[in-house]
Amino acid sequence: MVETYKEFTFEAAHQLQPFSGLHGHTFRVRVHFKGSPDAVFGWPANLYEVEPRISSVQKVLDHTYLNDIDGLAVPSLENVAKWIWDKLAPHSPQIDRITVSRGPDGQAEGCTYWRNP
């Protein structure tokens, strides 16, 4: 088994009533691909093949108010991770988990959405 990942960030505003009012973050997303290594290249998934779809998800999220996005009315870390999972995983069976985090290094908070075993 081998695991490869692709990261992206997006800037977005959100609120999570009653816990937080309107504010913004840089969100960091890491998409992990897991599988048997390709016999020649050693990868579980060719990043060139998955990048266009990941990029399109990033564009949907970047510089938005997350609460307004269909399916993200409650944009907790967990719901954002599940939303990204639902957009990407059906097209890439090698995706094993997706991590979403926010906040500066050393003070970040995040969550990981896993493929069901």
Ligand X SMILES: Nc1nc2c(c(=O)[nH]1)N=C([C@H](O)[C@H](O)COP(=O)(O)OP(=O)(O)OP(=O)(O)O)CN2
Q: Does 20 bind ligand X (CB under 6 A)?
A: yes
Closest CA to 98 of 46, 49, 29, 43: 29
Size of the site for ligand X (CB under 6 A): 9
Q: Candidates 12-20, 32-40, 48-56, 57-65 — which segment interacts with ligand X by CB under 6 A?
A: 12-20
CB of 4 to ligand X, least distance (A): 27
Sign of CA dihedral 74, 78, 80, 84: negative
Q: Is the dihedral of CA 19, 72, 13, 29 positive or negative?
A: positive
Q: How far is the CB of 27 from ligand X (least distance, A)?
A: 10
Task: Tell me, residue by residue from 23 to 52, as one string, x for binding to ligand X by CB under 6 A and - for no binding.
Answer: x-----------------------------
* Binder of ligand X out of 45, 77, 88, 98 (CB under 6 A): 77
Shorter beta-carbon distance to ligand X: residue 1 or 23: 23
Return the residue nearest ligand X (CB atom): 20
CB count in 10 Å sphere of residue 36: 9
Q: φ, ψ for residue 68 (rounded to 5)?
A: -85, -10
Strands 2-16 and 64-65: parallel
Is 63 part of any known ligand binding site? no
At 20, phi and psi to the nearest 5?
-150, 140
Residues in touch with ligand X (CB under 6 A): 16, 19-20, 23, 76-78, 103, 109
